[in-house]
Structure 1
Amino acid sequence: MTVITGGAGGMGTATAAVVGRDHAVVLADVRAERLDAAVAALIDRGISATGAPADVTDPDAVGAVFDTASGLGELVSVIHTAGVSPSMGDADYVMRTNAVGTATVGERFHASAPPGAALVNVASMAAYLLPAEMIPAQHFPVALSDPAAFLEKMRPAWESLPEEYRSGIAYGVSKSFVRWYSSAQAERFTAKGLRVLSISPGSTDTEMGRLEENAGAGAMVADAAVPRWGTPEEMAELLAFCAGDKAGYLTGTDILNDGGVVASVTERARVAASS
Protein backbone atom coordinates (compact mmCIF):
# COMPACT_ATOMS: atom_id res chain seq x y z
CA MET A 1 0.00 0.00 0.00
CA THR A 2 1.33 3.41 -1.01
CA VAL A 3 -0.03 6.77 0.12
CA ILE A 4 0.37 9.64 -2.34
CA THR A 5 -0.39 13.12 -1.07
CA GLY A 6 -1.33 15.73 -3.63
CA GLY A 7 -2.85 12.78 -5.44
CA ALA A 8 -5.22 14.90 -7.51
CA GLY A 9 -2.35 16.93 -8.98
CA GLY A 10 -0.50 16.18 -12.19
CA MET A 11 2.61 14.77 -10.55
CA GLY A 12 0.68 12.88 -7.87
CA THR A 13 -1.68 11.20 -10.32
CA ALA A 14 1.18 10.32 -12.67
CA THR A 15 3.05 8.78 -9.76
CA ALA A 16 -0.01 6.78 -8.71
CA ALA A 17 -0.19 5.35 -12.23
CA VAL A 18 3.40 4.10 -11.93
CA VAL A 19 3.27 2.87 -8.33
CA GLY A 20 -0.13 1.34 -8.99
CA ARG A 21 1.47 -1.28 -11.22
CA ASP A 22 2.73 -2.99 -8.07
CA HIS A 23 0.71 -1.64 -5.12
CA ALA A 24 -2.72 -0.43 -4.22
CA VAL A 25 -2.68 3.34 -3.70
CA VAL A 26 -4.41 5.78 -1.40
CA LEU A 27 -4.59 9.27 -2.87
CA ALA A 28 -4.87 12.18 -0.45
CA ASP A 29 -5.75 15.69 -1.56
CA VAL A 30 -7.57 18.71 -0.19
CA ARG A 31 -9.58 19.09 -3.43
CA ALA A 32 -12.33 16.50 -3.01
CA GLU A 33 -13.93 16.72 -6.47
CA ARG A 34 -10.62 16.52 -8.30
CA LEU A 35 -9.59 13.68 -6.02
CA ASP A 36 -12.70 11.69 -6.95
CA ALA A 37 -11.94 12.21 -10.65
CA ALA A 38 -8.32 11.13 -10.23
CA VAL A 39 -9.34 7.98 -8.36
CA ALA A 40 -11.95 7.12 -10.99
CA ALA A 41 -9.41 7.56 -13.80
CA LEU A 42 -6.94 5.26 -12.07
CA ILE A 43 -9.59 2.61 -11.43
CA ASP A 44 -10.48 2.74 -15.13
CA ARG A 45 -6.84 1.82 -15.82
CA GLY A 46 -7.08 -1.23 -13.58
CA ILE A 47 -5.32 0.32 -10.58
CA SER A 48 -6.60 -0.27 -7.06
CA ALA A 49 -7.09 3.31 -5.86
CA THR A 50 -8.84 4.86 -2.88
CA GLY A 51 -9.38 8.56 -2.18
CA ALA A 52 -8.88 10.20 1.21
CA PRO A 53 -9.65 13.95 1.32
CA ALA A 54 -7.16 15.69 3.60
CA ASP A 55 -5.31 18.90 4.33
CA VAL A 56 -1.70 17.84 4.90
CA THR A 57 -1.20 20.57 7.51
CA ASP A 58 -3.93 19.04 9.72
CA PRO A 59 -2.53 16.24 11.94
CA ASP A 60 -5.96 14.68 12.45
CA ALA A 61 -6.67 14.60 8.73
CA VAL A 62 -3.25 13.12 7.99
CA GLY A 63 -3.82 10.53 10.70
CA ALA A 64 -7.10 9.57 9.05
CA VAL A 65 -5.29 9.03 5.73
CA PHE A 66 -2.81 6.69 7.37
CA ASP A 67 -5.64 4.86 9.12
CA THR A 68 -7.39 4.40 5.77
CA ALA A 69 -4.22 3.01 4.23
CA SER A 70 -3.50 0.63 7.11
CA GLY A 71 -7.03 -0.70 6.85
CA LEU A 72 -6.38 -1.68 3.24
CA GLY A 73 -2.95 -3.30 3.59
CA GLU A 74 0.57 -2.88 4.92
CA LEU A 75 2.06 0.52 4.19
CA VAL A 76 5.22 0.28 2.07
CA SER A 77 5.70 3.90 1.08
CA VAL A 78 4.45 7.47 1.25
CA ILE A 79 5.14 9.80 -1.67
CA HIS A 80 4.49 13.34 -0.52
CA THR A 81 3.83 15.47 -3.60
CA ALA A 82 1.35 17.88 -1.97
CA GLY A 83 2.45 21.48 -2.15
CA VAL A 84 1.73 24.90 -3.63
CA SER A 85 3.63 27.30 -5.88
CA PRO A 86 4.28 31.01 -5.29
CA SER A 87 1.35 31.96 -7.53
CA MET A 88 -1.16 30.04 -5.41
CA GLY A 89 -1.22 32.13 -2.25
CA ASP A 90 0.53 34.48 0.13
CA ALA A 91 3.84 33.73 1.82
CA ASP A 92 2.32 32.30 5.00
CA TYR A 93 0.10 29.95 3.00
CA VAL A 94 3.01 28.75 0.90
CA MET A 95 5.21 28.15 3.95
CA ARG A 96 2.47 26.42 5.93
CA THR A 97 1.44 24.12 3.11
CA ASN A 98 4.91 23.14 1.94
CA ALA A 99 6.91 23.06 5.17
CA VAL A 100 4.38 22.37 7.93
CA GLY A 101 2.64 19.91 5.61
CA THR A 102 5.89 18.02 5.10
CA ALA A 103 6.58 17.89 8.83
CA THR A 104 3.02 16.75 9.58
CA VAL A 105 3.12 13.92 7.05
CA GLY A 106 6.69 12.97 7.96
CA GLU A 107 6.11 12.79 11.69
CA ARG A 108 3.00 10.66 11.28
CA PHE A 109 4.91 8.37 8.94
CA HIS A 110 7.75 8.08 11.47
CA ALA A 111 5.31 7.26 14.26
CA SER A 112 3.28 4.60 12.46
CA ALA A 113 5.02 3.16 9.38
CA PRO A 114 6.31 -0.41 9.60
CA PRO A 115 10.03 -1.22 9.18
CA GLY A 116 11.10 -1.20 5.55
CA ALA A 117 8.77 1.63 4.51
CA ALA A 118 10.01 4.72 2.69
CA LEU A 119 8.96 8.36 2.65
CA VAL A 120 9.82 10.36 -0.47
CA ASN A 121 9.19 14.11 -0.29
CA VAL A 122 9.00 16.55 -3.18
CA ALA A 123 11.26 19.58 -2.75
CA SER A 124 12.23 21.86 -5.66
CA MET A 125 15.19 23.20 -7.60
CA ALA A 126 14.24 26.53 -5.97
CA ALA A 127 15.91 25.25 -2.81
CA TYR A 128 19.22 25.21 -4.71
CA LEU A 129 18.84 28.69 -6.14
CA LEU A 130 18.06 30.68 -2.99
CA PRO A 131 21.20 32.11 -1.33
CA ALA A 132 22.04 30.30 1.89
CA GLU A 133 22.08 33.54 3.88
CA MET A 134 18.35 33.96 3.13
CA ILE A 135 17.41 30.59 4.61
CA PRO A 136 16.74 30.57 8.40
CA ALA A 137 17.72 26.92 8.66
CA GLN A 138 18.69 27.26 12.32
CA HIS A 139 14.97 27.50 13.11
CA PHE A 140 13.82 24.57 10.97
CA PRO A 141 13.67 22.05 13.88
CA VAL A 142 10.96 24.15 15.55
CA ALA A 143 8.48 22.88 12.92
CA LEU A 144 8.54 19.43 14.49
CA SER A 145 7.26 20.63 17.86
CA ASP A 146 5.51 23.98 17.37
CA PRO A 147 4.26 24.84 13.86
CA ALA A 148 2.92 28.25 14.90
CA ALA A 149 6.27 29.28 16.41
CA PHE A 150 8.02 27.92 13.31
CA LEU A 151 5.97 30.19 11.05
CA GLU A 152 6.80 33.18 13.24
CA LYS A 153 10.49 32.42 12.89
CA MET A 154 10.21 32.07 9.11
CA ARG A 155 8.47 35.39 8.43
CA PRO A 156 11.55 37.65 8.75
CA ALA A 157 12.92 35.94 5.62
CA TRP A 158 10.37 37.81 3.50
CA GLU A 159 8.56 40.45 5.57
CA SER A 160 10.91 43.29 4.63
CA LEU A 161 10.64 42.57 0.90
CA PRO A 162 8.16 44.07 -1.57
CA GLU A 163 4.89 42.14 -1.65
CA GLU A 164 5.48 40.72 -5.14
CA TYR A 165 8.59 38.82 -3.97
CA ARG A 166 7.36 37.40 -0.69
CA SER A 167 5.61 34.24 -1.89
CA GLY A 168 8.58 33.36 -4.08
CA ILE A 169 11.02 33.66 -1.19
CA ALA A 170 8.68 31.71 1.07
CA TYR A 171 8.53 29.01 -1.60
CA GLY A 172 12.32 28.72 -1.77
CA VAL A 173 12.60 28.63 2.02
CA SER A 174 9.79 26.09 2.34
CA LYS A 175 11.39 23.76 -0.17
CA SER A 176 14.73 24.21 1.58
CA PHE A 177 12.93 22.95 4.66
CA VAL A 178 11.77 19.87 2.73
CA ARG A 179 15.38 19.13 1.74
CA TRP A 180 16.54 19.71 5.32
CA TYR A 181 13.88 17.45 6.82
CA SER A 182 14.64 14.66 4.35
CA SER A 183 18.31 14.78 5.30
CA ALA A 184 18.40 15.80 8.96
CA GLN A 185 15.86 13.19 10.04
CA ALA A 186 17.43 10.26 8.19
CA GLU A 187 19.29 8.80 11.16
CA ARG A 188 16.19 9.03 13.33
CA PHE A 189 14.16 7.27 10.64
CA THR A 190 16.81 4.60 10.13
CA ALA A 191 16.62 3.70 13.82
CA LYS A 192 13.07 2.50 13.10
CA GLY A 193 14.00 0.75 9.86
CA LEU A 194 12.58 3.55 7.68
CA ARG A 195 13.96 5.56 4.78
CA VAL A 196 13.40 9.24 4.02
CA LEU A 197 14.66 11.32 1.10
CA SER A 198 13.50 13.97 -1.35
CA ILE A 199 13.61 14.80 -5.02
CA SER A 200 13.83 18.35 -6.36
CA PRO A 201 12.00 18.71 -9.67
CA GLY A 202 12.64 21.52 -12.07
CA SER A 203 9.86 23.19 -14.04
CA THR A 204 7.34 20.45 -14.70
CA ASP A 205 4.52 20.50 -17.21
CA THR A 206 1.64 20.34 -14.77
CA GLU A 207 -1.15 22.79 -14.04
CA MET A 208 0.73 24.05 -11.00
CA GLY A 209 4.06 24.20 -12.81
CA ARG A 210 2.61 26.26 -15.65
CA LEU A 211 1.47 28.92 -13.17
CA GLU A 212 5.15 29.92 -13.04
CA GLU A 213 5.65 29.84 -16.81
CA ASN A 214 6.28 33.56 -17.18
CA ALA A 215 8.14 34.14 -13.94
CA GLY A 216 10.43 32.47 -11.46
CA ALA A 217 11.48 28.92 -12.26
CA GLY A 218 9.46 28.67 -15.46
CA ALA A 219 11.40 31.52 -17.05
CA MET A 220 14.63 29.50 -16.69
CA VAL A 221 13.52 26.60 -18.89
CA ALA A 222 14.76 28.11 -22.17
CA ASP A 223 18.27 28.50 -20.77
CA ALA A 224 18.53 25.08 -19.12
CA ALA A 225 20.97 22.40 -20.27
CA VAL A 226 17.84 20.53 -21.41
CA PRO A 227 15.75 23.44 -22.73
CA ARG A 228 12.27 22.06 -22.16
CA TRP A 229 9.78 21.40 -19.39
CA GLY A 230 10.01 18.14 -17.50
CA THR A 231 7.02 15.82 -17.75
CA PRO A 232 4.97 14.51 -14.83
CA GLU A 233 5.78 11.00 -16.01
CA GLU A 234 9.54 11.64 -15.76
CA MET A 235 9.11 12.81 -12.18
CA ALA A 236 6.76 9.92 -11.42
CA GLU A 237 9.21 7.25 -12.53
CA LEU A 238 11.92 8.72 -10.29
CA LEU A 239 9.59 9.05 -7.32
CA ALA A 240 8.41 5.47 -7.72
CA PHE A 241 11.98 4.18 -7.96
CA CYS A 242 13.05 6.09 -4.84
CA ALA A 243 10.11 4.65 -2.91
CA GLY A 244 10.75 1.09 -4.04
CA ASP A 245 12.86 -1.79 -2.79
CA LYS A 246 15.53 -1.31 -5.46
CA ALA A 247 16.48 1.97 -3.74
CA GLY A 248 16.87 0.35 -0.34
CA TYR A 249 20.27 2.01 0.31
CA LEU A 250 19.00 5.47 -0.61
CA THR A 251 18.16 7.74 2.32
CA GLY A 252 18.97 11.14 3.79
CA THR A 253 19.57 12.82 0.45
CA ASP A 254 17.96 14.91 -2.27
CA ILE A 255 17.96 14.10 -5.98
CA LEU A 256 17.90 17.11 -8.29
CA ASN A 257 15.88 16.38 -11.43
CA ASP A 258 15.75 19.77 -13.14
CA GLY A 259 17.01 19.33 -16.70
CA GLY A 260 20.28 20.98 -15.72
CA VAL A 261 18.85 24.36 -14.70
CA VAL A 262 20.89 24.61 -11.51
CA ALA A 263 24.01 23.41 -13.33
CA SER A 264 23.56 26.06 -16.02
CA VAL A 265 22.82 28.87 -13.57
CA THR A 266 25.81 27.93 -11.42
CA GLU A 267 28.22 27.78 -14.33
CA ARG A 268 27.01 31.05 -15.83
CA ALA A 269 27.47 32.73 -12.47
CA ARG A 270 31.01 31.35 -12.24
CA VAL A 271 31.89 32.58 -15.71
CA ALA A 272 30.39 36.00 -15.02
CA ALA A 273 32.33 36.31 -11.76
CA SER A 274 35.63 35.39 -13.42
CA SER A 275 35.28 37.71 -16.43
Structure 2
Amino acid sequence: MSDATGPVRVVVTGGTKGIGRATALAFARAGARLVVSYGHDDEAAEKLAAELAGLGAEAETVRADLTTRQGAAELARAVTARFGAGGLDVLVNNLGVDGHRAFADLTDDEWRRVLDHNTTSAYLVTQELLGALAEGASVVNVGASVGLRGRPFGVHYSASKAALVGFTRALAKELGPRGVRVNLVAPGVTETEPGGGPPPPVAQKLAALTALGRLGRPEDVTGAVLYLAGPSAAYVTGTTIEVDGGI
Protein backbone atom coordinates (compact mmCIF):
# COMPACT_ATOMS: atom_id res chain seq x y z
CA MET A 1 0.00 0.00 0.00
CA SER A 2 1.65 3.19 -1.15
CA ASP A 3 0.93 6.46 -2.86
CA ALA A 4 2.90 8.50 -5.33
CA THR A 5 5.19 9.88 -2.61
CA GLY A 6 5.86 6.71 -0.63
CA PRO A 7 4.32 4.31 1.87
CA VAL A 8 0.97 5.20 3.40
CA ARG A 9 1.22 6.67 6.89
CA VAL A 10 -1.21 5.12 9.36
CA VAL A 11 -2.30 5.53 13.00
CA VAL A 12 -4.14 2.68 14.73
CA THR A 13 -5.49 3.30 18.23
CA GLY A 14 -5.91 0.41 20.64
CA GLY A 15 -3.64 -1.48 18.30
CA THR A 16 -1.90 -4.10 20.41
CA LYS A 17 -4.72 -6.63 20.75
CA GLY A 18 -7.64 -8.09 18.84
CA ILE A 19 -8.92 -6.20 15.83
CA GLY A 20 -6.45 -3.37 16.35
CA ARG A 21 -3.46 -5.70 16.34
CA ALA A 22 -4.70 -7.54 13.25
CA THR A 23 -5.25 -4.18 11.54
CA ALA A 24 -1.76 -2.92 12.37
CA LEU A 25 -0.19 -6.13 11.06
CA ALA A 26 -2.30 -6.00 7.88
CA PHE A 27 -1.18 -2.44 7.16
CA ALA A 28 2.43 -3.43 7.86
CA ARG A 29 2.19 -6.31 5.38
CA ALA A 30 0.87 -3.80 2.84
CA GLY A 31 3.97 -1.65 3.33
CA ALA A 32 2.54 1.13 5.49
CA ARG A 33 4.41 3.22 8.06
CA LEU A 34 2.70 3.00 11.43
CA VAL A 35 2.09 4.65 14.76
CA VAL A 36 0.16 2.32 17.07
CA SER A 37 -1.25 3.50 20.39
CA TYR A 38 -2.03 1.42 23.46
CA GLY A 39 -3.27 2.07 26.94
CA HIS A 40 -1.31 0.14 29.56
CA ASP A 41 -0.18 -3.34 28.49
CA ASP A 42 3.54 -2.83 27.81
CA GLU A 43 4.10 -6.55 27.24
CA ALA A 44 1.53 -6.67 24.43
CA ALA A 45 3.05 -3.52 22.91
CA GLU A 46 6.54 -5.04 22.97
CA LYS A 47 5.25 -8.21 21.34
CA LEU A 48 3.52 -6.24 18.58
CA ALA A 49 6.62 -4.10 18.03
CA ALA A 50 8.68 -7.26 17.53
CA GLU A 51 6.13 -8.64 15.05
CA LEU A 52 6.09 -5.38 13.11
CA ALA A 53 9.89 -5.30 13.04
CA GLY A 54 9.86 -8.87 11.77
CA LEU A 55 7.74 -7.69 8.86
CA GLY A 56 10.24 -4.94 8.11
CA ALA A 57 7.73 -2.24 8.99
CA GLU A 58 8.67 1.25 10.08
CA ALA A 59 6.53 1.48 13.21
CA GLU A 60 6.30 3.14 16.61
CA THR A 61 4.14 2.22 19.60
CA VAL A 62 2.89 5.04 21.82
CA ARG A 63 1.45 4.61 25.30
CA ALA A 64 -1.33 7.14 25.96
CA ASP A 65 -4.69 7.35 27.71
CA LEU A 66 -6.88 8.40 24.80
CA THR A 67 -9.92 8.93 26.99
CA THR A 68 -8.27 12.22 28.05
CA ARG A 69 -7.38 15.35 26.12
CA GLN A 70 -3.81 15.12 27.41
CA GLY A 71 -3.39 11.57 26.14
CA ALA A 72 -4.83 12.40 22.72
CA ALA A 73 -2.49 15.40 22.49
CA GLU A 74 0.49 13.20 23.39
CA LEU A 75 -0.40 10.84 20.56
CA ALA A 76 -0.82 13.76 18.15
CA ARG A 77 2.63 15.08 19.04
CA ALA A 78 4.18 11.67 18.38
CA VAL A 79 2.37 11.38 15.04
CA THR A 80 3.40 14.87 13.92
CA ALA A 81 7.01 14.20 14.95
CA ARG A 82 7.08 11.06 12.84
CA PHE A 83 4.99 12.04 9.81
CA GLY A 84 5.05 15.83 9.87
CA ALA A 85 2.12 18.27 9.70
CA GLY A 86 -0.39 17.13 7.11
CA GLY A 87 1.42 13.83 6.78
CA LEU A 88 -1.17 11.35 8.06
CA ASP A 89 -2.98 9.31 5.42
CA VAL A 90 -5.10 6.96 7.54
CA LEU A 91 -6.50 7.18 11.07
CA VAL A 92 -8.12 4.04 12.46
CA ASN A 93 -10.08 4.80 15.64
CA ASN A 94 -10.18 1.27 17.02
CA LEU A 95 -9.82 1.80 20.77
CA GLY A 96 -12.78 0.33 22.64
CA VAL A 97 -13.97 -1.74 25.58
CA ASP A 98 -16.92 -4.05 26.06
CA GLY A 99 -19.52 -3.81 28.79
CA HIS A 100 -22.09 -6.29 30.12
CA ARG A 101 -24.48 -4.94 32.73
CA ALA A 102 -28.24 -5.01 33.23
CA PHE A 103 -29.64 -1.52 32.74
CA ALA A 104 -31.09 -1.48 36.26
CA ASP A 105 -27.61 -2.16 37.63
CA LEU A 106 -25.76 0.27 35.37
CA THR A 107 -23.66 2.75 37.35
CA ASP A 108 -22.46 6.19 36.36
CA ASP A 109 -18.86 5.01 36.49
CA GLU A 110 -19.54 2.06 34.18
CA TRP A 111 -21.48 4.27 31.76
CA ARG A 112 -18.60 6.75 31.62
CA ARG A 113 -15.97 4.02 31.28
CA VAL A 114 -17.58 2.56 28.17
CA LEU A 115 -18.56 5.88 26.57
CA ASP A 116 -15.14 7.39 27.26
CA HIS A 117 -13.28 4.52 25.59
CA ASN A 118 -15.66 3.84 22.70
CA THR A 119 -16.89 7.30 21.75
CA THR A 120 -15.04 10.11 23.48
CA SER A 121 -11.64 8.72 22.48
CA ALA A 122 -12.58 8.89 18.79
CA TYR A 123 -13.67 12.51 19.23
CA LEU A 124 -10.51 13.52 21.09
CA VAL A 125 -8.05 11.72 18.83
CA THR A 126 -9.66 12.83 15.58
CA GLN A 127 -9.84 16.43 16.73
CA GLU A 128 -6.22 16.44 17.91
CA LEU A 129 -5.08 14.92 14.59
CA LEU A 130 -7.10 17.20 12.29
CA GLY A 131 -4.02 19.23 11.45
CA ALA A 132 -2.02 16.07 10.74
CA LEU A 133 -4.50 14.65 8.20
CA ALA A 134 -3.29 14.87 4.63
CA GLU A 135 -5.56 16.00 1.82
CA GLY A 136 -7.49 12.93 0.72
CA ALA A 137 -6.89 11.14 4.04
CA SER A 138 -9.19 8.43 5.38
CA VAL A 139 -10.62 8.11 8.89
CA VAL A 140 -11.97 4.64 9.70
CA ASN A 141 -13.90 4.21 12.94
CA VAL A 142 -14.38 0.72 14.36
CA GLY A 143 -17.86 0.39 15.83
CA ALA A 144 -20.03 -2.68 16.33
CA SER A 145 -23.10 -4.13 14.66
CA VAL A 146 -25.01 -3.88 17.96
CA GLY A 147 -24.78 -0.13 17.54
CA LEU A 148 -27.32 -0.56 14.76
CA ARG A 149 -29.73 -2.92 16.54
CA GLY A 150 -28.98 -2.88 20.28
CA ARG A 151 -28.03 -5.59 22.76
CA PRO A 152 -29.67 -6.48 26.05
CA PHE A 153 -27.40 -6.14 29.08
CA GLY A 154 -25.32 -3.74 27.04
CA VAL A 155 -27.31 -0.52 26.74
CA HIS A 156 -24.22 1.58 27.43
CA TYR A 157 -22.12 -0.41 24.95
CA SER A 158 -24.80 -0.24 22.26
CA ALA A 159 -25.25 3.50 22.86
CA SER A 160 -21.51 4.14 22.59
CA LYS A 161 -21.28 2.32 19.27
CA ALA A 162 -24.48 3.90 17.92
CA ALA A 163 -22.99 7.31 18.68
CA LEU A 164 -20.06 6.46 16.40
CA VAL A 165 -22.47 6.01 13.49
CA GLY A 166 -23.72 9.58 13.84
CA PHE A 167 -20.20 10.84 14.52
CA THR A 168 -19.03 9.20 11.29
CA ARG A 169 -21.88 10.44 9.15
CA ALA A 170 -21.67 14.04 10.37
CA LEU A 171 -17.87 14.28 10.29
CA ALA A 172 -17.82 12.94 6.73
CA LYS A 173 -19.94 15.91 5.66
CA GLU A 174 -17.76 18.37 7.54
CA LEU A 175 -14.40 17.06 6.29
CA GLY A 176 -15.56 16.22 2.77
CA PRO A 177 -14.50 19.60 1.34
CA ARG A 178 -10.94 18.75 2.38
CA GLY A 179 -11.17 15.47 0.52
CA VAL A 180 -11.02 13.58 3.82
CA ARG A 181 -13.26 10.52 3.95
CA VAL A 182 -14.80 9.19 7.18
CA ASN A 183 -16.34 5.72 7.40
CA LEU A 184 -17.21 3.08 9.96
CA VAL A 185 -16.73 -0.68 10.14
CA ALA A 186 -19.26 -2.47 12.34
CA PRO A 187 -18.07 -5.96 13.31
CA GLY A 188 -20.38 -8.58 14.72
CA VAL A 189 -19.39 -10.89 17.56
CA THR A 190 -15.66 -11.40 17.08
CA GLU A 191 -13.27 -13.75 18.85
CA THR A 192 -10.59 -11.12 19.33
CA GLU A 193 -8.19 -13.44 21.18
CA PRO A 194 -7.87 -17.26 21.36
CA GLY A 195 -10.43 -18.29 23.95
CA GLY A 196 -11.41 -14.66 24.41
CA GLY A 197 -14.88 -14.85 22.93
CA PRO A 198 -18.16 -15.66 24.66
CA PRO A 199 -18.47 -18.86 26.71
CA PRO A 200 -18.76 -21.91 24.40
CA PRO A 201 -22.54 -22.39 24.75
CA VAL A 202 -23.15 -18.71 24.02
CA ALA A 203 -20.65 -18.73 21.16
CA GLN A 204 -22.37 -21.72 19.57
CA LYS A 205 -25.76 -20.04 19.83
CA LEU A 206 -24.49 -16.81 18.30
CA ALA A 207 -22.65 -18.65 15.53
CA ALA A 208 -25.86 -20.47 14.65
CA LEU A 209 -27.58 -17.10 14.17
CA THR A 210 -25.11 -16.01 11.49
CA ALA A 211 -25.57 -16.80 7.83
CA LEU A 212 -22.00 -18.15 7.68
CA GLY A 213 -22.33 -20.35 10.76
CA ARG A 214 -19.34 -19.00 12.70
CA LEU A 215 -18.17 -16.07 14.77
CA GLY A 216 -15.92 -13.41 13.33
CA ARG A 217 -12.15 -13.27 13.53
CA PRO A 218 -10.06 -10.08 13.67
CA GLU A 219 -8.74 -10.84 10.19
CA ASP A 220 -12.31 -10.72 8.86
CA VAL A 221 -12.52 -7.06 9.87
CA THR A 222 -9.17 -5.88 8.53
CA GLY A 223 -10.18 -6.36 4.91
CA ALA A 224 -12.99 -3.83 5.30
CA VAL A 225 -10.67 -1.40 7.11
CA LEU A 226 -8.01 -1.58 4.40
CA TYR A 227 -10.65 -1.20 1.70
CA LEU A 228 -12.03 1.98 3.26
CA ALA A 229 -8.51 3.30 3.78
CA GLY A 230 -7.45 2.72 0.19
CA PRO A 231 -8.03 4.18 -3.27
CA SER A 232 -10.72 1.65 -4.18
CA ALA A 233 -13.00 3.50 -1.72
CA ALA A 234 -12.16 6.96 -3.05
CA TYR A 235 -15.86 7.82 -3.44
CA VAL A 236 -17.06 6.11 -0.26
CA THR A 237 -17.66 8.32 2.78
CA GLY A 238 -20.12 8.58 5.65
CA THR A 239 -21.01 4.92 5.34
CA THR A 240 -21.13 1.93 7.68
CA ILE A 241 -19.96 -1.49 6.54
CA GLU A 242 -21.25 -4.36 8.63
CA VAL A 243 -18.84 -7.27 9.02
CA ASP A 244 -21.06 -9.57 11.03
CA GLY A 245 -21.41 -12.82 9.08
CA GLY A 246 -25.02 -12.03 8.26
CA ILE A 247 -26.35 -12.24 11.81
Quote the offset at 1:195 in angstroms.
Answer: 1.0
Deviation for aligned residue 1:214: 6.2
Cα distance per residue 1:42-61 (max 9 Å; x no partner): 11222221101112212222
- Superposition RMSD in Å: 2.4
Q: Which amino acid aligns with 2:77?
A: D
Which of 194, 201, 213 pairs up with 1:227? Answer: 213
Equivalent in the alignment of 1:28? 37
Shift of 1:63: 2.0
- Corresponding residue SS for 1:191: helix
**What TM-score, normalized by structure 2, do the two folds share?**
0.83
In structure 1, C-alpha distance between the alignment counterparts of 2:204 and 2:77, rounded to whole Å:
37
Q: Equivalent residues in 2 for 1:40-51 (5 A)?
A: 40-51=50-61
* Structure 1, gaps ≥5 residues long: 132-163, 262-275
Deviation at 1:110, TM superposition (A): 3.0
The 5-angstrom pairing of residues 78-89 of structure 1 reads 78-87=91-100
Deviation of 1:249 after TM superposition, in Å, equals 0.9
SS of the residue 2:136 aligns to: coil
Which of 119, 125, 147 aligns to 1:127? It is: 147
The AA in structure 2 aligned to 1:103 is Y
1:80 and 1:196, CA in 2 relative to 1: closer, same or farther beyond 3 A?
A: same
Q: How far has the Cα of 1:235 moved from its partner?
A: 0.7
Counterparts of 1:81 and 1:212 in 2: how far apart (Å)?
20
Change (3 A) 1:199 1:208: farther
Q: Distance in 1 between matches of 2:72 and 2:231?
A: 24
SS in structure 1 at match of 2:179: coil
Instruction: Give structure 1 regions of 4+ aligned residues with deviation exceeding 4 angstroms.
Output: 213-219
What corresponds to 1:139 in structure 2? none
The equivalent position to 2:110 in structure 1, one of 90, 103, 107, is: 90
1:3 aligns with 2:11: yes
Q: Does 1:99 pair with 2:119?
A: yes
* SS in structure 2 at match of 1:71: helix
| 3-state secondary structure, aligned to 2:118 | helix
Name the structure with the higher strand share: 2
Letter of the structure 1 residue corresponding to residue 10 of structure 2:
T
* Aligned residue runs from structure 1 range 153-168, under 5 A: 165=153, 168=154
Q: What's 1:153 paired with?
A: none
> In 1, distance between residues paired with 2:34 and 2:125?
16
Out of 11, 24, 32, the residue aligned to residue 16 of structure 1 is 24
**Aligned equivalent of 2:156:** 170
How many residues in Structure 1 have an aligned counterpart in Structure 2?
A: 227
In 1, distance between residues paired with 2:10 and 2:196? 27
Other-structure match for 1:196: 182
1:114 and 2:134 matched: yes
CA shift at 1:215, angstroms?
Answer: 8.9
- Residue 82 of structure 2 aligns to which amino acid in structure 1? L
Q: Which amino acid aligns with 1:29?
A: Y
Q: Aligned partners of 2:121 and 2:221: how far apart in 1? A: 20
Q: Flag the 1:245–1:213 CA change in 2: closer, same or farther, 3 A.
A: farther
SS in 2 for 1:210: coil
Shift, 1:99, TM fit = 1.2
Instruction: Check whether the contact 2:190–2:197 (CA below 8 A) recurs between aligned residues.
Output: no
Q: Greater helix percent: which structure? A: 1
Q: Say whether the 8 Å CA contact 1:6–1:28 is kept in structure 2.
A: yes
Q: CA offset at residue 216 of structure 1?
A: 8.1
Give unmatched runs, 5+ long, in structure 2: 1-8, 102-108
Would the alpha carbon gap of residues 103 and 215 (structure 1) be closer, same or farther in structure 2, given more than 3 Å must change? farther
